[in-house]
Amino acid sequence: MFAEQWPPLSPMQTGLRGRCPRCGQGKLFDGFLKIRPKCEACGLDYSFADPADGPAFFVMMFVCVPAVAFALWLEIAYEPPMWVHLVTTLPVVLLTCIPPLQPLKGWLIAAQFFHKAEEGRLARPKSEDAAAN
């Protein structure tokens, strides 16, 4: 019945836009990075969403490293005064690191919903369950 009501939506399309992973209409965020309690359009409870530090990790690895490399290159190549770093490097770091956080967090939440990801559990193999009964 779930699949009949809500066709599967691409996590890339819904997550990057900050939309509900089930209906694609409701907003996912209440503010910049705070997740809403539920979707205002379809009522999906967002309590399943736990992207943890994923967005920050991806931003650090793929965006911050090149931004810091730029700062190091600038320092080694030109040895500029500190104020040059404040007007060049600081904006580069801030403008490349902060904006991608929300789309990445939305994408990770939508991917969790799409793939039905949940916390891992330890379970006995079925053969042991049958032997125990």
Q: Is residue 126 part of a domain?
A: no
Q: b/e map of 50-78 (b: 16 or more CB within 10 Å)? A: ebeebbbebbeeebeeebeeeeeebeeee
**Residue 85 near residue 71, CB atoms below 8 Å:** yes
- Among 46, 31, 30, 40, smallest CA distance to 108 is for 46
3 state SS of 95: helix
Query: What pLDDT, in 10s, does the model give residues 1-46?
Result: 344 588 999 999 999 999 999 999 999 999 999 999 999 999 999 9
DSSP-derived 3-state class of residue 9: coil
Residue 133 counted as domain residue? no
Residue 17 lies in a domain: yes
Please report whether residue 72 resides in a domain.
Answer: yes
Q: Tell me what percent of the residues of the chain surpass a pLDDT of 90.
A: 74
Segment 68-82 mean pLDDT: 95
> Where does residue 30 rank: exposed (0-12), middle (13-18), buried (19+ CB within 10 A)?
exposed
Q: What is the total count of domains within the chain?
A: 1
125 within some domain: no
The answer to the question of residue 61 being in a domain is yes
Residues in the chain: 133
Average pLDDT (98-119) is 94
Report the pLDDT value the prediction gives residue 15, as an integer from 0 to 100: 95
Per-residue confidence (pLDDT) for residue 127, from 0 to 100: 67
Q: Tell me, what's the pLDDT at 3?
A: 45
Signed CA dihedral, 90, 92, 96, 98: sign only: positive
pLDDT at 76 over 70: yes
In a domain, 44, yes or no: yes
pTM of the model: 0.81
Q: Count the Cβ atoms, other than its own, within 10 Å of residue 42.
A: 14
Average pLDDT, the chain: 90
Report the pLDDT value the prediction gives residue 106, as an integer from 0 to 100.
97
Q: Is residue 127 part of a domain?
A: no
Range of the domain at 47: 2-118
